[in-house]
Amino acid sequence: MSGEPEAQRYFDGLYERSDDPWLLRERWYERRKRALTLAMLPDPRYARAYEPGCATGEFTAELASRCDTLLAADLSADAVALARRRVAHLGNVKIEQRAIPDDWPNGHFDLIVISELAYYLDEPQLARLAACLAGSLAPGGTIVACHWRQPIEGWPHSGDFVHEELRATLPFARLSHYQDEDMLLDVWSSNPGSVHCREAK
């Protein structure tokens, strides 16, 4: 979620009206998306993970079981407060307020999850996001991108456009791809080995 005032107003408005504006807890689409995303991770566990755009922390809570440490972030102060409550029982998770891509955290990550986020960015921001992903992925690390394919009124890009840009830009092997009428999922890694090859080592 970008740091532009328009985006800030948009997300603040959503959380003023509801503590779950996308019905993350209720919709089967959301629960299925989380299950598919977790199933497509090529490694059973990750030392250091980052999830920008965490919203209320529903996926954060599930992803935490696969991570030694997990940093999650959102532009909205209300979302950050809700996410912190959602994962308060998890000692390996930290939630911060950050604007993406301009307030990218330092260091390298073994897993970065970009879910339902990048279509809120303009093209220069999307290019900076790709550069941040490439520059902060640890050796052997994994990037997962998941986006809605239906139209999003008022925002510049579709999920298809975002994934086309990432595929053209990221300097990593694409390990897997899933799409249906509603969503896209892509997984890249600096380790091109399959799940079988990873286990065989």
Bridge partners of 73?
A: 52, 96
65 secondary structure, DSSP code: G
DSSP string, 111-172: EEEEES-GGGS-HHHHHHHHHHHHHHEEEEEEEEEEEE-S--TTSS--HHHHHHHHHHH--S
The pTM of this model reads 0.90
Distance CA 152, CA 155 (A): 6
> Per-residue confidence of the chain (201 residues) as pLDDT tens digits?
444 466 677 666 666 676 766 667 788 999 999 999 999 999 999 999 999 999 999 999 999 999 999 999 999 888 999 999 999 999 999 999 999 999 999 999 999 999 999 988 989 999 999 999 999 999 999 999 999 998 877 777 899 999 999 999 999 999 999 999 999 999 999 999 999 999 987
Tell me the domains of the chain and their CATH numbers.
5-200 (3.40.50.150)
Nearest to 121 by CA among 109, 111, 133: 133
